[in-house]
Structure 1
Amino acid sequence: MSEYANKKTRGTFIAAVFAMQGFGILFGTIVTIIVSSAFRHAFPAPPFYIDAAASIGPEADYVWRIIVMFGTIPAALTYYWRMKMPETARYTALIAGNTKQATSDMSKVLNKEISEEDVQGERATGDTWGLFSRQFMKRHGVHLLATTSTWFLLDVAFYSQNLFQKDIFTKIGWIPPAKTMNALEELYRIARAQALIALCGTVPGYWFTVAFIDIIGRFWIQLMGFTMMTIFMLAIAIPYDYLVKPGHHTGFVVLYGLTFFFANFGPNSTTFIVPAEIFPARLRSTCHGISAATGKAGAIIGAFGFLYASQDQKKPETGYSRGIGMRNALFVLAGTNFLGLLLSLLVPESKGKSLEELSKENVGDDDTIFLYSIIVFFAATTF
């Protein structure tokens, strides 16, 4: 995506593609609401505390299958369209050295005639670099550290909040205790609550990024996002016992929704965008993949860690050991966001710069680049 965009609107272009994830989240909750509501009315069942076996019902087994089947439709369409997409012209011309194919691909994508001379040029200086080469570590070692660490820390906090919204909603009384509902009723209520969070916090956050990323810049949006996530998480954790009491749930939901807003108008968007811009063409996808994979490792840790850590210190749920409690778990997430804020100081600003300028593909081997990276790293970590 970054290689087909111009430097003035590249951030907006990539952010708009990524922002469609927000509509996907919202659409997923809508599908769940419709399917669970239809089955709930067609097949009434008693609450769990009255009859545990009957509260699930054999029909409930069809519900999750239908929802998953709906999810395969966009996945199949994505696969088809992705197979129709050509390799980017930068890679084809600069790395593969096939200017003829690059010319043909650009003509199709841009829908206009382009001569081979327009894309002629020298192969990128970074063409011979390997991921573990000295040249790469000099120029982009700190950058890779920045993109992987911030994506990791973001996903620790972001996915723990996402996957266990139902536990938080129950704690604040937004949905009834699970034992007072049957399976379909619980699914319906959770999906409805998640849809509200997505509609009011998640989706607007994505599109605020689209609107402002080429004005404010990636660096400041990421810094602002981690800062606000830290503040709002502390604003929930400190008066947690007060916010979970009846009559104060609105404040909790507003603060909780704002953490999602600034996650998406912040690092959840920028951690995806920046790695697609700052690395050389030969290793751009590799480094983006490494950053993303590190982020998903954080998601796994966040999801399972939050599940166990948030258990009550005195009365954990059946099958779980005692944890540190929901309030303390929220403090841990606030600390995670703050650490992400500090490591964001290592992320370079890519607004208004060409990919070649960012990746330094046309810069010779110079030890001053390595020295500069070391200075930036120690200055940021010391701060």
Structure 2
Amino acid sequence: MREFDGNILFSATDLMRFMGCSHATRLDLLRMRGEGPEPSEDTEDAALLQKQGDAHEAAHLEKLKASGRGVIEIERGDLARNSDETRAALATGADIVFQGAFLSGNWGGWSDFLERVESRSALGPFSYEVADTKLKRRPHPIDTKSPPLECCGSTDTQAPSMIDFYDTNAEQFLNDTRHVDMSALRERFIAELPQDAADTVRILDAGTGSGRDARAFHRAGYQVAAFDASPTMVKASADFAGLPVQQMRFEDFSWDHSFEGIWACASLLHLARKDLPFVMRRLADHMVTDGILYASFKLGSGDRQKDGRLFTDMTEESLSALLDESPALRQVEIWRTNDRRPDKKEDIWLNALLRKS
């Protein structure tokens, strides 16, 4: 916190500090009035964490630039001026805004990265999400009895995000999945679609990955839309399917029309279990009455991490419990299949066809 135009200006860091230790905020306020103790210098551990965080941020910035995404950098200085510059940068629809600033009332500060997502806002058919890349600069909450380090290790040991995994391993993932024969599953899905002429039936490939299924549906004469969270997958799938693909996360899903069918093949399984009910209801909201949703999960009873990816496994029982929280969807069929990839035939998938009531 600091004085700004005669008032106290708070930042997101101040809010987190208060949530961790309200006494620390009280000391900060006293210090601003010249009554409190001066904060001590950062420990060597805290300085090391800050150095690692800065290096991680710089590496991430260079990675974004190398990927070909449009990056606008705000030269950090005067907060009010930077806030105006950030507002102008967001209005251009840039892919990334680095060091974007915000100022409103008694709140203000700088973000690490603002990343564009294809979710409608006052800006247009897109909006922005905040991405914070730094390690913690000091232990939180403040506690004189706690050890000086809250976490250990360097940026090299941090698990990559889900999107980072697919961006980094795109070529291998595309080779492994693009030509897998999923025609039997697609046929079962198509058989449950409302029986309109194919060229009037709208299908959404939700989490399209390689674009394999979007391409197949498009070639069969359906009106196909698709999205994926990974920028690399978006470009690859659009090129392969010959269709526009939006960059979007399930958590931010929104569309300007409903669909007769939604195809979520091996994509919903990467959502946290707690987020699935909301996302399922959101998908149902974008289906016509009697529309059909296909979803598939790895068979299992737990949540696990692999290569930085979250896997939320399902059994028939846990999937039925999920449907209890999604009243607009009713079960048509649930069945098991073996993985179609030759090197993963031992993996079992749980498939579901769900009808919008």
With the length of structure 2 as denominator, give the TM-score of the two structures.
0.22
Greater relative contact order (CA < 8 Å, ≥ 6 in sequence)? 1
Higher helix fraction (1 or 2): 1
